[in-house]
Amino acid sequence: MTIDTDVAIVGAGPAGLTAARRLEQLDIDFVLLSKEEVPCEHKVCGGFMPSRALKHLGSREIPGSYPVRSIRMKFPNVELTTVDFEEPVGINATRKVLGEAMLRAVSRSSRRVSLASEVQSVAVASGGCSLSYIRGGEKQQLNCNILIDASGVNAVSAKSGLVRSRIPNDGMGYAVQFEMHRSQSMPPFPEANYFLYGSEFSPRGYAWAFPRGHEMAIGTGGLVTSVQQSQVGLSEYLERITKNTGFITSVLEGAEVEKKEAALMPLAGVVRPSFSEHILLAGDAAGHCSPITGEGIYYSMIGGDAAGTVAAEAVRERDFSAKFLSRYERLWIGKIGSDLKWGLWLQKRLVRSGSSGFGSRLLKSEKTTRTIAEMLVGMRSVTSTIKAVLPSYLGSKISG
């Protein structure tokens, strides 16, 4: 096999673009293939990027984005709670805006980034990986030593029977989202992100509303298995939320639905394996997504950075074996594994149908709600959140 490039990256989301940036920093030859002409343009996402992700990107703000200064949460049997922050805790933006910002951090010189290039299949031989893809209506081939597969939940490597199968439905989330707009003559939406938990908002999941100036992304979802078993469809949930939930309906005054979209997201916690001979999985393909919030941008960036780092080490050592590449899994688990593991634990307690897993008494505590809000925006780890809340939780159980 004649090698065309050391590393091929499939997917121009946060994981793929961060991996590319890392490889460029380490002076490793790579080619990034993306089926979209504009990175992430058609990715369904609420579009919240926490401050820690901005810091990882090396930017304090992104043109076309909107600051988030407040979190509003609704739990079963508890009134809407607002937690304000002195400084913005992140931004909301379309994924197109975020994708373009991350692409700007990667050099587009030579042929390193190939947009509008859809990978059809992947094959592994003793000499490396061979990718077949379509660009400009023509079938082409790219051979590499290492593939970083950041192509999403339905990973191209999984379709080719490599590494592992797709995450099963009991660990996969499904969401429907409305893109809503209102006239520029009206005031912009408040700079507050909404998180709505309970059976009135979703089938054992949660709903969200993230404003972007005069636009609002409002969605709901749950595990695929729960959605399939629900007698109420996700679109119907959204209709109820937008029309019958007072505090949302009032905020949406004058807004109309311009687009309805749906997507899958991994909510399975730590998923193994994320590597095999010549291949690393990153981003949604590896399950790098918070089980409690569905936020994947930051986690995918960490996974992409780890993939780029280990791929560079493998290129320098000329060792592309599964044994060598296993260090990648240890690296990303060491960085984000705790959040994913305990996020799954917390997910099962916060989103159970009909009642809160922590009890309404505890969730009326200002200290507890601020702690949870800090976790939702990435200011606090899931582990530290549990440690902070657990003593109060146990106390409420004993006294209640």
pLDDT tens, residue by residue, 221-262: 999 999 999 999 999 999 999 999 999 999 999 999 999 999
Q: What is the mean pLDDT of residues 363-377?
A: 91
The stretch 39-55 carries a mean pLDDT of 92
CB 295 within 8 A of CB 301: no
% of the chain with per-residue pLDDT over 90: 80
* Average pLDDT value for the chain: 92
Helices (H) then strands (E): counts for the chain: 13, 18
For 353, counting Cβ atoms within 10 Å of its Cβ (0-12 exposed, 13-18 middle, 19+ buried), the class is middle
At 353, the pLDDT band (50, 70, 90 cuts) reads: very low
Q: Supply angle C-alpha 14, 19, 23, rounded to 5.
A: 150
Return the closest-CA partner of residue 326 out of 282, 274, 284, 269.
274
> Six-digit token pair at 317?
């050592």
State which amino acid sits at residue 257: V
CATH number, domain 62-93+169-266: 3.30.9.10
User: Which is more confident, 86 or 40?
Assistant: 86
Please name the amino acid found at residue 14. P
Intrachain domains 5-44+98-168+270-347 and 62-93+169-266 with the same fold: no
pTM passes above 0.85: yes
Pairwise CA distance, residues 395 & 388, whole Å = 12
> Which of 14, 39, 49, 15 has its CA nearest to residue 108?
39
Query: In the chain, what are the domain boundaries?
Result: 5-44+98-168+270-347, 62-93+169-266, 353-399
For residue 293, what pLDDT is reported?
87
Beta carbons within 8 Å of 51's beta carbon, 6+ residues apart: 88, 89, 90, 377, 378, 379
What is the CA 355 to chain-centroid distance, rounded? 26
- Is the pLDDT at 399 greater than 50, yes or no? no
CATH 1.20.140.10 fits 5-44+98-168+270-347, yes or no: no
User: Token pair of 304, please?
Assistant: 């992409």
**Sign of the CA dihedral running 316, 287, 261, 241:** negative
* β-strand partners of 373: none
- Whether residue 352 is predicted with pLDDT greater than 60 in this model: the reply is no
Give the mean model confidence (pLDDT) for residues 38-65.
Answer: 91
User: Which residue is it, tokens 């972007």?
Assistant: 212
Contact 113, 130 (CB under 8 A): no
Tokens of 207: 């709903």
What value does the mean pLDDT take over residues 269-282?
98
d(CA 289, CA 126): 32
In the chain, the amino acid numbered 289 is C
Least confident of 7-16, 84-93, 99-108, 351-360: 351-360
> In whole angstroms, what is the distance from residue 31 CA to residue 23 CA?
10
Please tell me whether residue 28 adopts helix, strand or coil conformation: coil
Within a 10 A sphere around the Cβ of 274, how many other Cβ atoms?
26
Where would I find the beta strands (DSSP E) of the chain? Answer: 5-10, 30-33, 48-50, 66-68, 70-74, 81-84, 90-92, 113-114, 117-125, 128-135, 138-149, 172-181, 192-197, 206-212, 215-223, 256-266, 275-276, 279-281
Quickly state the pLDDT bin for 108 (edges 50, 70, 90): low
At 106, the pLDDT band (50, 70, 90 cuts) reads confident
- Rg, the chain, Cα only: 21
* Cis bond upstream, residue 188 (ω within 30): no
For position 397, what pLDDT does the model report?
A: 44
Q: Decide: residue 186, CB within 10 A, 0-12 exposed, 13-18 middle, 19+ buried.
A: exposed
Q: Is 397 helix (H, G, I), strand (E, B) or coil?
A: helix
3-state secondary structure 257-298: EEEEEEEEEECCCCCCCCEECCEEECHHHHCCCCCCCCCCHH
Q: What is the pLDDT of residues 297-310, one digit of tens each?
A: 999 999 999 999 99
DSSP single-letter state for residue 154: S
CB hemisphere CA count around 271 (13 angstroms): 29
Helices 382-399 and 366-376: crossing angle in degrees, nearest 10, is: 150
